[in-house]
Structure 1
């Protein structure tokens, strides 16, 4: 409810705004949805419901609050921020990012590993590194990470044949090919014979 006004002589004017499903969070028992302010909406769904952001969020460690309450979890806020960033990035949109994983947010599993990972529609995991909220001195900016991704895409279009790409190192990009992947160059058309 946004406002209540008394209208003379004997009426009330009530204005309210519906909360809209913004993002779906995958949990062990199903999918939970939040709005753009990370307020939990009612229900647990067996399949991801339609939301404003099609990217799924995984790895949020805290339990969801009661419906109507804000979900106070920094990893969720970071994942929602990334889900909001993806549609504005032609590069990430082109790759069809389908999942944002924050299992290691803040280095809670392993401080040497990426805090956030993105999974593309082709199954490649893009190790994004720290988020802008947890960034430390010397970490790459978002634009530098996107530039690293452009360089990888120049060699591996659409990340075909890659299992994992690490973007958060300065000066180098680490790629891990899919097991048993053999890169075959495009066939060269035969030259016409001149007689």
Structure 2
């Protein structure tokens, strides 16, 4: 009986070993198959990345805005080096192309880069556009929304160039250079106000030629107006501080404009007989020459 029991135990051990061996064998086969599949996938991808059929031969651009943009800038962007000749299967290709284009000082943002098989890229990007004009020492400089100085060779004046009020500030001491951002609160406030006036066509109606922002941040301490608009007839419009300053009791830009229109209605549109108009408060004030 003991011999029979011993034989049974031996049989169980042998079966267990056989099962373990089988598991190891099949596991080895599985690992080998996975390795082969991985190698085949890598090799296939590597072959795709060098295939001439998927080499970029054309890049199409959708560019905006186009107002105020000269052809030379569009040509420079379209001819950006390093786009033609890349492979569509290149790792992180779209991100690399977007980063390369955004290194151009005149590209504000690349919104999308798409692969178009078999050999094209489609790019949608936004260029910096002229929003305002700064005058310094008799020279005019184009600025975008962020206060970046734009080069004359690539940009023209805003659409209504002759009527666009220019910004002036005593705080811009150095000669502005193309690509430089004029990080000055007065300049930023001036750009926003010029855009507001043009949106409402107020600059044309009143003949506004200058937006003086020299006093931004200082006017509130001495009671003077942060921003002063000057008309072509030499009348001053005391506009007050920028919207973001939230000066107590001072009106919003829209309310200030309504104040100004009420003065025009009462005194006439030329206002050349007035020295200044103050539209900062609920009741507009003025002084005759």
TM-score when normalising by structure 1: 0.72
Aligned length: 173
Q: How far 1:135 sits from its partner (Å)?
A: 2.8
- The change in CA–CA distance for 1:28 and 1:12 in structure 2 (over 3 A counts) is same
- The change in CA–CA distance for 1:147 and 1:16 in structure 2 (over 3 A counts) is closer
Instruction: Confirm whether residue 85 of structure 1 aligns to residue 192 of structure 2.
Output: no
Alignment match, 2:149:
40
Instruction: Confirm whether residue 168 of structure 1 aligns to residue 280 of structure 2.
Output: yes
- The change in CA–CA distance for 1:68 and 1:14 in structure 2 (over 3 A counts) is farther
Alignment match, 1:25:
134
- Contact (CA 8 Å) 1:148, 1:173: kept in 2 or not? no
Alignment match, 1:51:
158
Of the structure 1 ranges 50-59 and 88-97, higher mean CA displacement relative to structure 2 is found in 88-97
**How far apart, in 2, do the equivalents of 1:29 and 1:95 lie?**
23
- The change in CA–CA distance for 1:162 and 1:66 in structure 2 (over 3 A counts) is same
- The change in CA–CA distance for 1:23 and 1:91 in structure 2 (over 3 A counts) is closer
Q: How far 1:14 sits from its partner (Å)?
A: 5.2
For 1:18-167, what aligned pairs fall within 5 Å after superposition?
A: 18-28=127-137, 30-43=139-152, 50-52=157-159, 54-59=164-169, 61-62=171-172, 63=174, 66-107=177-218, 111-158=222-269, 159-167=271-279
SS in structure 2 at match of 1:98 = strand
**How far apart, in 2, do the equivalents of 1:10 and 1:89 lie?**
47
- Contact (CA 8 Å) 1:60, 1:75: kept in 2 or not? no
- Contact (CA 8 Å) 1:104, 1:110: kept in 2 or not? no
**How far apart, in 1, do the equivalents of 2:115 and 2:121 lie?**
5
RMSD over aligned Cα, in angstroms?
3.0
Instruction: Select the structure of larger CA radius of gyration.
Output: 2
More helix by share: 2
Of the structure 1 ranges 133-142 and 13-22, higher mean CA displacement relative to structure 2 is found in 13-22
**How far apart, in 1, do the equivalents of 2:188 and 2:202 lie?**
22
**How far apart, in 1, do the equivalents of 2:159 and 2:186 lie?**
19
Gaps of 5+ in 1: 178-195
- The change in CA–CA distance for 1:110 and 1:52 in structure 2 (over 3 A counts) is farther
- The change in CA–CA distance for 1:128 and 1:67 in structure 2 (over 3 A counts) is same
**How far apart, in 2, do the equivalents of 1:109 and 1:137 lie?**
10
- The change in CA–CA distance for 1:28 and 1:10 in structure 2 (over 3 A counts) is same
- Contact (CA 8 Å) 1:40, 1:64: kept in 2 or not? no
- Contact (CA 8 Å) 2:149, 2:180: kept in 1 or not? yes
